[in-house]
Chain A
Amino acid sequence: MFSQSEREITYAEAIREALFEEMRRDPQVFIIGEDVAEAGTPFKVLSGLVEEFGKDRVIDSPISESGFSGVGIGAAMTGMRPVVDIMFGDFIGLAMDQIANQAAKVHYMSGGKMKVPIVFRTTLGATRRSAAQHSQSLHAWVSHVPGLLVAIPSTPYDAKGLLKTAIRNNNPVVFFEDKMMYKLKGPVPATDYTVPFGLADIKRAGKDITLVATSSMVQVALGAAEMLNEIGIDAEVIDPRTTTPLDRQTLIDSAKKTSRAIVVDEGYQGYGVTAEIASVIADGAFYYLDAPVKRMGAMDVPIPFSPVLEDLTVPTEEAVYQMARSLCGRN
């Protein structure tokens, strides 16, 4: 997609750049959350924003996820475009009534009269040794609620483009950033561009098996694809980029082409994103499939602290490789 000479920045820098550009473009955009101003969040993703936009637009809030989410929703309903920072994805539980019962439903309940253009930025991803309450990938929770859009970018390019789309969208968007990817570098144009919602991206073209991977799992799937390549299996890696809306057609078309599919996602496997996507593929590509659609999610246990245990809970390149190999009859 890009030449080698193209500028490379990190995932965190891409997020920050999207915020800089959107806040310059639209004075209605503001940021609210815990330690978002001078501290720039614990991940330093927002560093520098308060210096340009001031404390009136980069607003440090008390530790009150429900409260500042609600304040954001009320502001969004009355002419502003808040970007609400929920430090860890695990904390959306604290704000869930505001997100799922208020933001998600206002437009429909009001017969289309009111809009809630708000972005809830939060994180997902384990293996940071942060244990059970700072490591979960809970994007399935909000993907389950009609009225919410959910973006889960896997590259710096997608992170910038999807965040700009999220901010310009007139609906509540929950935007999940993989905290383990903040330092990942990739090509990102310095220009203004957006990535549309509901458009999957083929991260690696292939013909033998489809690996549908989201967010943190895209790098894992690409790694597995390289390993598979060495034994002559040509894997296609597809990233839906948003769970709502979901680009069903691209997923189905790929599975029809390859006849095999594995869905890899870091959310808990039970009742998770993998289940929804696998059913879409099973339904849409049934007569083309040579094997059952397989799912690989996080193990259904609270994320343990001990590194030895934590690493067991998340799909790895090796595990995806073995699953794909088996599915292709190459045991």
Chain B
Amino acid sequence: MKGKADIAVTPQDRSTDVEHWLHAYEQMAKIRMFEEKVNELYMKAYMPGLAHLYSGQEAIAVGVCEALRRDDFITSTHRGHGHCLAKGAAIDKMFAELLGKEAGFCRGKGGSMHIADPASGNLGANAIVGGSMGIATGAAFSAKMRGSDQVAVCFFGEGALGQGLLYEVMNMASLWKLPVIYVCENNLYGEYTYYSEMLAGEITERARAFGIYTETIDGQDVQQVYATTQKLVDRARRGEGPAFLECKTYRYYGHHVGDINREYYRPKREEKEWMTKRDPLKILAERLIGQKLSDQAVLDHIQAEVLAEVEAGVQFAINAPYPDKSEVTQDVFAV
């Protein structure tokens, strides 16, 4: 199970499907603007708590989720806004959650690090690094047990490779051929530390040790992420078991919004390099324009529409009421 040879079926080629890619562009723009707005809200002290921005990694959430059905599952991380939006969560209810309002996805009880939207298949962001690996694997286990062809995607950063849970569940996923895809977003930094300082060996070798099919791809190229995920999803739906996808990417902001002075762990020129040469929105825009599938005016129009939606979502959240104090004891237990 080493190479890419065991992928038998070539998925539908959508490389020239303009509508599809404009939608992907829109989704990525939505995440980018959402996160810019979160940063602004935080700086203006509208937003309590912590925020870990997804900016720079948009192509992964969007490329992966575009290859999923609405009833497929994802689990997400502390850096989860992008996954949420990409899987279909509404912007206004997300902002409301971030501000701790009752209209939020979790009635204001989860916040940035715990947004869940089971209606769109999102089983929740998780503030324990690697904490959702069991849940994603269990969702795949359940899909198989129920005779459904749903798949589960487990998003995590390369920092989560330090958690033992991953190795326990990859072992089970491989043994039982579970339809789960482990998506490792390697953004090069675990908090404030370069990943190789904390990681022995090779990333994908870990999964291969369990006989799990792996690929490493450019996480800035949404078309590549989509095409690869589609193959892995098809494979999982056919009962051929789990996969591990490493996506090389970069986080534009700090570990969280308060992590502003970053030069002690990563140089500014490196940030600039990624933002100018490896930006996922630019890469897709240039390709669509270069292939004459679209033009700047169309993309600008998308940007303007998304911006309006984001602004409206923020206003909705700011105007929304906080939960009633009686909510504090509600939903500790399910009925």
Q: Chain A interface (Cβ within 8 Å of chain B)?
A: 30, 56, 61-62, 64, 66-80, 97-98, 101-102, 106-117, 146-147, 149, 170-171
Contacts and interface: CB of A to CB of B under 8 A. Distances in A.
Given A78-B139, A80-B142, A111-B108, A71 B172 contact: yes
A70 B124 contact: no
| Most chain B beta-carbon neighbours within 10 Å: one of A111, A112, A170 | A111
Contacts of A71: 134, 137-138, 141, 169, 172
Contact of A67 (B106, B109, B114, B172): B172
Nearest to A67: B168
A64 B152 CA distance: 21
A101 B128 contact: yes
Interface in B90-144: 104-110, 114, 116-118, 123-124, 126, 128, 131-143
Given A67-B169, A69-B134, A80-B142, A74 B123 contact: yes
Contact of B172 (A64, A73, A101, A170): A64
Given A73-B135, A106-B124, A109-B114, A78 B168 contact: no
Contacts of B114: 109-110
B164 interface: yes
Contact of A77 (B123, B168, B172): B123
B123 A68 contact: no
Interface string B134-166: 111111111101100000100000000000110
B73 interface: yes
Contacts, number: 145
Interface of B: 73, 75, 104-110, 114, 116-118, 123-124, 126, 128, 131-143, 145-146, 152, 164-165, 168-169, 171-172, 175, 330-335
| Most chain A beta-carbon neighbours within 10 Å: one of B73, B138, B145, B335 | B138
A62 B170 CA distance: 11
B108 A67 contact: no
28 contacts: A61-B172, A62-B171, A62-B175, A66-B168, A67-B165, A70-B169, A71-B141, A73-B138, A74-B140, A74-B141, A75-B139, A75-B142, A76-B138, A77-B118, A77-B138, A77-B139, A79-B142, A80-B145, A102-B134, A106-B116, A110-B106, A110-B109, A111-B105, A111-B108, A111-B109, A113-B118, A114-B116, A146-B332
Contacts of A114: 116, 118, 123-124
A16 to B, nearest CB: 22
Contacts of A98: 134, 165
A79 B133 CA distance: 18
Contacts of B171: 62, 64, 67
Contacts of A115: 334
B134 A78 contact: no
Given A71-B141, A102-B135, A109-B116, 11 more contacts: A62-B172, A67-B171, A70-B169, A71-B137, A75-B138, A77-B118, A77-B135, A78-B123, A102-B131, A110-B116, A112-B331
Nearest to B180: A74
Nearest to B140: A74
A30 B145 contact: yes
A111 B110 contact: yes
A70 B334 CA distance: 19
A70 B123 CA distance: 13
Nearest to B333: A171
Contacts of B135: 70, 73-74, 77, 102
Nearest to A65: B168
A170 B134 contact: no
A293 to B, nearest CB: 27
Closest 9 CB pairs of A and B: A70-B134, A74-B138, A67-B168, A111-B107, A64-B168, A111-B106, A112-B331, A74-B135, A75-B142
B333 A149 contact: yes
B333 A66 contact: no
Contacts of B172: 61-62, 64, 67-68, 71
Nearest to A95: B134
A97 B165 CA distance: 10
Contact of B109 (A56, A109, A146): A109
A19 B143 CA distance: 23
A149 to B, nearest CB: 7
Nearest to A244: B333
A107 B73 CA distance: 17
A75 B114 CA distance: 19
Contacts of B116: 106, 109-110, 113-114
A74 B134 contact: yes
A74 B137 contact: yes
A106 B333 CA distance: 10
A267 to B, nearest CB: 23
Contact of B124 (A67, A75, A109): A109
A101 B131 contact: yes
Contacts of B136: 74
A255 B128 CA distance: 43
A107 B331 contact: yes
A23 to B, nearest CB: 13
Contacts of A102: 126, 128, 131-132, 134-135
Contacts of A117: 334
B335 A170 contact: yes
A80 B146 contact: yes
Contacts of B105: 110-111, 113
B111 to A, nearest CB: 9
A78 B142 contact: yes
Contacts of B117: 113
Contacts of B333: 107, 147, 149, 171
A109 B107 CA distance: 9
